[in-house]
Chains A and B, each alone.
Chain A
């Protein structure tokens, strides 16, 4: 169950060279939203766009293909996409909302649909929720310290950041590559990530990530009825090239391994919060 419920898992990548040119992996999120926008499935999407500061994401509402393309790629820092979930139906006037987010943001979204305490008229306007795999996230200052301190590279010269193959990778505009062992990144992780029990966005309509598939491809889980419908339409429209997940290396085995590792570690941490931080007291457990 560490991978959640899903109707199918495939390896996929976008068929659009424009999207692939600057995408993180298979360009799944950008392509899905671009297709859904074209097909009228969504009016726009909340995405992690680029802010004034390099590699600092900022939630924004993309209502055109150009805006979606501008937001391609991963920025390893916190983009509070849920902060726009009400506004997107108000000043942006969207009736069919796409939203991309980490597993915790998908949890926030589904809680918000079932318990819309402060989210009036939002729940039924969520047309497509795309989740991304996530091991942990970093505060922006953490990224700064990793890249500028540990990596001795000015963040404004960086063209791409990546985490994969057990390393944190920094690619610069001038062609240099810096790699840091993941070990040094751990202390900069966002604390709230350590109680997270979801690696592959179990509550998304469709979730995707690089783990499990070769470079340039992404692993895709199609989860909900809504996701299944949209995925089938996108495939029929030729938006994606796919391969059976069994036919690629390392495949679901690695996804399962990493998911199990994350969940086991964090379950232990939640237990430790009850016993190892306190005497006769407990830190608060959000899960009931």
Chain B
């Protein structure tokens, strides 16, 4: 399991990788030689950072219910591990005191954009300019979700009536569908995004393979519906009746009748979870065949 080992090595630095020697210090740099005497007085060894360096992450709040952020936080101590080891939260209206969207590696955008709200429009454009990777976090950002049904006229901004998934306004790199997206899915994407940006070649390859389907979703468009399961799976002769779509649906709009999904389309909130969960929407043997190693590695990565 080469990937697993090297992943552990990256995540834990020199520490505790299969009981290897831990005490070897890196060779002195030439510059260090001059201050050697001084340095020897201080007995404490130089603190070694557990990981190379963190990525910067921001949470951008558009028109959403904060459920996606809550779901992220529902990783509990896992969230602290992520913020401790892998990511600095540089922008997040709810958790960080930063007013303007800074430059960052990854922007997690929650919610759709109200095009009658010029601040929202400016912010999403700024997000695209300032972030290397834009992730649509949750169904509103990906597909509009429940905001697709807004018709305006509400107190106290009746003119706010048109809500667009962020992909209709800017290029989006990765989708995390679902209402709310699950803590584990967000966690997995965080770890993989970290590996993609900071890992070695092998890790980049794995992270790339893992994230590819979610990048493909981002390329595929901004509309989702339970109908996708009919159009893209059943109509294509691909459904084998496993029931994943029914399990994934957050509003129980899908039941299995005689081994096939029966979709109550009036209940559907357009979150895209059913189709993304379907093993016949996308399936990578390269990734899934390594499920044991990947899950172990992610578990190990989440150890505080």
Residues of A with Cβ closer than 8 Å to B? 5, 59, 77-87, 101-102, 104-105, 107-108, 110-121, 123-124, 137, 139-141, 190-197, 202-203, 224-225, 273, 283-284, 286-288
Residues in B whose Cβ lies below 8 Å from that of A112 = 244, 247, 277
A to B CB contacts below 8 Å, 12 in the list? A80-B241, A108-B278, A114-B288, A115-B276, A117-B273, A118-B274, A124-B184, A140-B258, A190-B240, A283-B237, A286-B283, A287-B284
How close is B283's CB to chain A, nearest CB, in angstroms? 5
Q: Identify the closest chain A residue to B281 (Cβ).
A: A286
B283 touches A283 (CB 8 A): no
Contact of B282 among A85, A86, A121, A288 (CB under 8 A): A288
Given A111-B283, A191-B237, A80-B276 contact (CB < 8 Å): no
B185 touches A84 (CB 8 A): no
Interface string of B227-246 (1 = CB under 8 A from A): 00000100011111111101
Among the 9-residue stretches B103-111, B126-134, B156-164, B248-256, the one with 4 or more Cβ atoms under 8 Å from chain A is B248-256
Given A83-B243, A139-B259, A141-B258, A117-B279 contact (CB < 8 Å): no
Q: Identify the closest chain A residue to B284 (Cβ).
A: A288
A78 touches B248 (CB 8 A): no
- Give the complex CA separation of A116 and B276 in angstroms: 9
Contact of B238 among A123, A139, A286 (CB under 8 A): A286
How close is A69's CB to chain B, nearest CB, in angstroms? 23
**Does B6 belong to the interface (CB within 8 Å)?**
no
Residues in A whose Cβ lies below 8 Å from that of B281 = 286
Residues of B with Cβ closer than 8 Å to A? 71, 176-178, 180-185, 188, 210, 212-214, 216, 232, 236-244, 246-250, 255-256, 258-260, 271-274, 276-285, 287-289, 291-292, 294-295
A115 touches B188 (CB 8 A): yes
Given A118-B273, A139-B258, A110-B213 contact (CB < 8 Å): no
Residues in B whose Cβ lies below 8 Å from that of A101 = 242
- Give the complex CA separation of A193 and B238 in angstroms: 8
Residues in B whose Cβ lies below 8 Å from that of A85 = 243-244, 247
Given A85-B247, A283-B237, A288-B283, A203-B289 contact (CB < 8 Å): yes
Given A117-B178, A139-B259, A203-B289, A111-B246 contact (CB < 8 Å): no
Contact of A82 among B181, B184, B244 (CB under 8 A): B244
**Secondary structure of the B contact surface, majority rule:** mixed
Residues in A whose Cβ lies below 8 Å from that of B247 = 82-87, 112, 118-119
Contact of B236 among A104, A108, A120, A283 (CB under 8 A): A283
- Give the complex CA separation of A107 and B212 in angstroms: 18
- Give the complex CA separation of A72 and B260 in angstroms: 23
Residues in B whose Cβ lies below 8 Å from that of A110 = 288, 291
Minimum-distance CB pairs A-B, first 10? A118-B248, A83-B243, A78-B259, A80-B243, A118-B273, A192-B240, A120-B182, A78-B241, A83-B246, A108-B279
B256 touches A80 (CB 8 A): yes
B292 touches A224 (CB 8 A): yes
B289 touches A192 (CB 8 A): no
Q: Identify the closest chain B residue to A283 (Cβ).
A: B236
- Give the complex CA separation of A287 and B247 in angstroms: 22
A117 touches B241 (CB 8 A): no
A287 touches B283 (CB 8 A): yes
Contact of A117 among B181, B238, B258 (CB under 8 A): B181
Q: Identify the closest chain B residue to A114 (Cβ).
A: B291
A121 touches B183 (CB 8 A): yes
